[in-house]
Amino acid sequence: MIRLFSSLERDLGIDMGSVNTHVYVQGRGVVLSEPSVVATDTKQEFIVAVGADAERLLLRTPDMLEELRPLKDGFIVDYRVMLTMLRHFMHKASRLVSRARVIMAVPCGITDVEKRAMTDAIIQAGAREAYLIETPVASALGCKLPVFEAQGNMVVDIGGGTTDIGVLSLGGKVVASSARIGGNDLNEAILQYIKECFAVMVAEETIEAIKLELGTAKMPEEEAELTFTGRDMSNGLTKRIMVRKTEVYQVLQDPLKRMADEVKRVMEVTPPELLADIMEHGVLLTGAVADMDGLADYFSHELGVPVWVPQQPGFTVAVGLGKASQEFERMDRFIIASKNRKGRA
């Protein structure tokens, strides 16, 4: 039997972050969520695996492979590897790539060169048309904020490498900013603390586990702890260490404060009438980091406005890209770059 594809399934929304990539297919939802990682041979000549497969291989045979992350802090650091990863994800998510209209979310304020590289990559990966919108726009659409109305909407998206902040109204961006701080900086703060306090080296996965298990933005009411193994920096032997939730809470205060300061800076330059709307309706907090215990209350306290986090905040951007393709006719002012196979649109 011949399967007829819905014309809807042509539209792809791609949220390609420095840590994770999500692909939304119109009519099917988020069909792919994988780490933004590529495994190569040790000479970096051949790509061995991409995404979840690469992560699995890198965990099992780390000495035989090289781990490459083609995006850093939301920006392309290796075009060739990024293109291979993008092509892989697009073709895994859809059988209609050659007819696809792709909408991709990018950090606020990327340069013209970066926009050009990203739209070129989407077309080179096989799509028919490529459009870029900024991450906070996709987040807002994903949570059905009234961005086309005369109301101020504020969105903060905290990913692995970037915090993207946007104030949106009347189908356009009023203020936006992208700061190179995110979940990776929380890991870095924990790593430094463990090195300084216990003089041990620990694996990245251990740091991530400490953050996910003990990470909190509010003073813990009950103590919790995690025991793990590290390598003693003085003699190279393995050493058991225990870290407490209250310690992790203290360590995370500095990077969290830096994130909140970035949001404050944007609020300071937001027109007062839009700020009044934001005070009334609150700030939307998305990105996977928004799942951290107590983060909404922390930001609310620091900023003096209500802050809310949707269900599964790490998927909001991808869902919003799906909304963007449904609302395509109204997206004019939100589209910051586009290209089709004949050239730039």
Ligand X SMILES: Nc1ncnc2c1ncn2[C@@H]1O[C@H](COP(=O)(O)OP(=O)(O)OP(=O)(O)O)[C@@H](O)[C@H]1O
**Would you tell me which residues interact with ligand X (CB under 6 A)?**
17-20, 36, 74, 159-162, 182-184, 208, 211-212, 215, 287-289, 291-292, 314
Residue 299 φ/ψ region, left for φ over 0, alpha for ψ in the -120 to 50 degree band, beta for the rest: alpha
- Is 148 in a helix, a strand, or coil? coil
| Nearest distance from C-beta of residue 52 to ligand X, angstroms | 14
Question: Quick check: 166 and 149 in contact, CB under 8 A?
Answer: no
Q: Any binding-site annotation on 160?
A: yes
| Nearest distance from C-beta of residue 298 to ligand X, angstroms | 12
- Side chain identity at 14, as an amino acid letter? I
Q: Any binding-site annotation on 149?
A: no
Residue closer to ligand X by CB (options 166, 314) is: 314
Q: Any binding-site annotation on 211?
A: yes
Q: Any binding-site annotation on 161?
A: yes
| Nearest distance from C-beta of residue 95 to ligand X, angstroms | 25
| Nearest distance from C-beta of residue 316 to ligand X, angstroms | 9
Residue closer to ligand X by CB (options 27, 109) is: 109
User: Among candidates 16, 21, 10, which has minimal Cα distance to 104?
Assistant: 16
Residue closer to ligand X by CB (options 127, 189) is: 189
| Nearest distance from C-beta of residue 18 to ligand X, angstroms | 4
Residue closer to ligand X by CB (options 38, 288) is: 288
Q: How far apart are CA 101 and CA 105, in angstroms?
A: 14
Q: How far apart are CA 69 and CA 122, in angstroms?
A: 18
Q: Any binding-site annotation on 273?
A: no
- Is 244 in a helix, a strand, or coil? strand
46 φ/ψ angles, rounded to the nearest 5 degrees = -125, 140
Residue closer to ligand X by CB (options 162, 177) is: 162
183: exposed, middle or buried (Cβ count in 10 Å: 0-12, 13-18, 19+): buried
* Annotated binding-site positions: 160-162, 208-211
* Annotated binding-site positions for ATP: 160-162, 208-211
